[in-house]
Amino acid sequence: MKRIIYISTVNRQLSEEEIESIGQISARNNRGVGITGVLISVHDYFFQVLEGEEEAIAQVIGRIRRDPRHKDMHILKAENEISERLFPKWSMRTIRLAGSGDMILQAIRDMLQNIAQSHRIIERYTQPSVLKFLTDGINPLSVPPRKTDKIVLFCDMVGFSYLSDLFPVEQVAEVVNAFLEVCSTTIAEHGGVVAKYVGDCAIAYFEQNQADESIAACLDVLRRVGDMRRDTHECHLMKFLYCGFGVAAGTVIEGNFGSSVKMDFTVLGGTVNMAARLEALTRQIAKPLALSESVIENARQNWSFVHVGDFQLKGAGKPCPVYTLDDPLMNDFKDHEHLVDEMRQACGEKCEGTMFG
């Protein structure tokens, strides 16, 4: 059996009849599939415990998630293989706070509000893969390391350290956040997982059969970054946002790596190093995308790959063939020197007396 405890917030003010109807439907449905638990409606929050067979819980949770009457569902706890029910019956309690002078109820509402807020914050700092384990009822710390095949992607901004010293700190923060937002949402849209950020660099991975998706994600990020540059006025750091991608496919070790103070669920190994080296190589080949031969071999779509040369990458025994694409987006790249020239031209005169004067 499985037990799930979650908290959510109403999407709009619900009438007493609506809340009552949720209770009635839940009671009827849950009885039919052997689910017990409790649903508490406190002002604008719901707190629910559901216990039952795994399959039945998965179905009900799926329906509850899609219910437009509430949002921001945070799973507080998920436990698999429980042997005993904490709530052998199904019950629901609605606590109305409007006009209630009851300090205890007020305290319960504040507590739910605080839990929801803390979870919203913690979820944004937590890796999606770790969250997934938690909501599936798996303790991520108990997941053993394993060797697996992945496609690893490194992506970062060109000349970031140099540029970050020249522009106001607010612009630096704005551009790094905008860049990581575009990388992360685009990679997720294509089915990849962002493992972590290291400064302005995003490290992500895809499954071995997702070579095409990983390449498509790089092209989409380049397109979106190009749009961001075009939509920016001349003397803003965003105008000089260019990025490079290194993508490699192969075996990695996936697991928990870290210390008693901080833990990462991430990937390590030669393929990860290779992706990092390829990303650095984009500066040398003056193209925003450098792919390993293994990515080409895994791709199924008819991409126009171009062999840019064989390079001795640190950590590799022999020179590695490196590829890019024959695509207009591959011209969307400035190496450090050209970027600095362009910036001085664009900003130097207009911003005289500033850091470019």
Catalog residues that contact ligand FMN under the rule CB under 6 A.
8, 22, 25-26, 29-30, 39, 46, 48, 50, 60, 63-64, 67, 69-70
Q: Which is nearer to ligand FMN, 59 or 185 (CB)?
A: 59
**C-beta of 48 vs 164, nearer to ligand FMN:** 48
What is the closest distance, in whole angstroms, from the C-beta atom of residue 85 to ligand FMN in the complex?
14
- 93 within 8 A of 41, measured Cβ to Cβ: yes
Residues 6+ apart with CB under 8 A from 221: 155, 182, 183, 186, 187, 243, 245
Taking the C-alpha atoms of residue 185 and residue 194, their distance in angstroms, rounded to an integer, is: 9
> What single letter denotes the amino acid at residue 251?
T
- For the chain, list the strands marked E by DSSP: 2-10, 36-42, 45-52, 70-79, 90-95, 146-157, 193-198, 201-207, 243-258, 263-268, 289-292, 305-311, 320-325
Q: Please, which residue, 47 or 167, has the CB nearer to ligand FMN?
A: 47
Beta-bridged to residue 289, according to DSSP, are 245
Whether 47 and 95 have beta carbons less than 8 Å apart is answered as: no
Radius of gyration of the chain (CA): 26
Name the closest residue to ligand FMN (Cβ): 29
Tokens standing for 172?
A: 């630096």
Nearest approach, Cβ of 26 to ligand FMN (angstroms)? 3
What's the token pair of residue 29?
């449905």
The residue with tokens 């405890």 is 5
Output the smallest distance, CB 107 to ligand FMN, in A: 21
Give least dist CB 29 to ligand FMN, A: 3
Tell me how far, at minimum, the Cβ of 15 lies from ligand FMN, in Å: 13
Nearest to 204 by CA among 182, 224, 223, 173: 182
Q: What is the smallest separation between the CB atom of 34 and ligand FMN, expressed in angstroms?
A: 12
Packing angle, helices 211-230 and 169-189, rounded to 10: 150
Min dist CB 111 to ligand FMN, Å, is 17
Q: Which is nearer to ligand FMN, 76 or 235 (CB)?
A: 76
Neighbour-count burial of 142, counting CB atoms closer than 10 A to its CB (0-12 exposed, 13-18 middle, 19+ buried): exposed
Closer by beta carbon to ligand FMN, 88 or else 353? 88
How near is the Cβ of 64 to ligand FMN at its closest, in Å?
Answer: 4
Nearest to ligand FMN of 67, 227 (CB atom): 67
> Going by C-beta distance under 8 Å and a sequence separation of 6 or more, which residues neighbour residue 131?
123
Of 36 and 214, nearer to ligand FMN (C-beta) is 36
Which residue, 245, 244, 246, 232, is CA-closest to 343? 232
Q: Which is nearer to ligand FMN, 137 or 244 (CB)?
A: 137
Measured between alpha carbons, how far is 40 from 49 in angstroms, rounded to an integer?
9
Q: Which is nearer to ligand FMN, 65 or 307 (CB)?
A: 65
Least separation, in Å, of the C-beta of 28 and ligand FMN? 7
